Amino acid sequence: MNLIEHLKEDVRFEESLKACMNCGVCTAICPAAEFYDYDPRRICDLVQRGDEEEIEQVLRSDTIWYCGQCMSCKTRCPRGNVPGELISVLRKVSQELGLFRHSEKGRQQVLLMNSVHRNIMEIGYCVYPDRVDPDYHPEQGPIWRWYHEHIADIAPKLGANYHGAGPGALRDISEEDLQEVRKIFEVTGGTEFSEKVKKNS
């Protein structure tokens, strides 16, 4: 398994890591680096060194799952690298090769497959109020519980078309449109990718 070759197959790889000079500005501005034991500078350095063993280790680790994808690193890198995008490439390869299952944080991907990915496939939205369960989201507070409970009565007042046909916020997406979205996932490898992750979880 040549991991560098795998990484290069992703169209984003080349642009995400042109030449890192290890200045550490990305780490200085990174919200994940403040919260976790995480250092995007080290990730760039490690991938740049091209040591297969080290790359495999990082693909098996929790480290690549700490980034929050805010992309503040892109704005600041003096060399035009995008550590956040490099992380996406590493995560993709880690999932494709099944290496993510060696990491606790990596194994969380199945939860995202069973929520966000499933939502897209079933209803055509990443997020929808019916699927933001107040019991799973205590941080949303009592107001969310109230809205969640009475949404059918409140939504029209807010100009929304809750579960309606035609245009508008919160409308149901037609089966014909959903079929096209699902077909896109099939043709572009999105479906196969999710099945692979679920199988390896």
Residues 172-201 that bind other proteins (CB under 8 A): 173-174, 177-178, 180-181, 183-190, 193-194, 197
Q: Is 115 in the site for other proteins (CB under 8 A)?
A: yes
Q: Which of 110, 1, 11 is nearest to 59 (CA)?
A: 1
Q: Which of 87, 91, 89 is nearest to 32 (CA)?
A: 87
Closer CB to other proteins, residue 46 or residue 96?
Answer: 96
Closer CB to other proteins, residue 52 or residue 177?
Answer: 177
Contact 106, 19 (CB under 8 A): no
Closer CB to other proteins, residue 9 or residue 49?
Answer: 9
**Please, what is the minimum distance in Å from the beta carbon of residue 100 to other proteins?**
9
Diameter of the chain measured on Cα atoms? 59
Among 1, 11, 37, 78, binds other proteins (CB under 8 A): 11
Instruction: Kindly indicate which of the ranges 16-24, 41-49, 51-59, 63-71 contains the residues binding other proteins, using the contact rule CB under 8 A.
Output: 63-71
Span 119-178, contacts to other proteins by CB under 8 A: 120, 124-129, 132, 136, 138-147, 150, 153-160, 165-171, 173-174, 177-178
Return the amino acid letter for 200: N
| x/- letters, 66..85, toward other proteins (CB under 8 A) | --xxxxx-xx----------
DSSP, res 159: T
Alpha-carbon gap, residue 127 to 146, rounded angstroms: 18
Site size for other proteins (CB under 8 A): 82
CA angle, residues 120, 69, 99, in degrees to nearest 5: 75
Q: Which of 194, 195, 189, 201 is nearest to 9 (CA)?
A: 189
**Please, what is the minimum distance in Å from the beta carbon of residue 61 to other proteins?**
15
Contact 44, 91 (CB under 8 A): no
Closer CB to other proteins, residue 51 or residue 147?
Answer: 147
Contacting residues for 16 by C-beta, under 8 A, at least 6 apart: 81, 82, 83, 85, 86, 88, 89
**Please, what is the minimum distance in Å from the beta carbon of residue 151 to other proteins?**
9
Q: Is 50 in the site for other proteins (CB under 8 A)?
A: no
Closer CB to other proteins, residue 4 or residue 146?
Answer: 146
Spell out the alpha helix ranges (H) of 60-159: 72-76, 83-96, 109-112, 118-123, 141-154
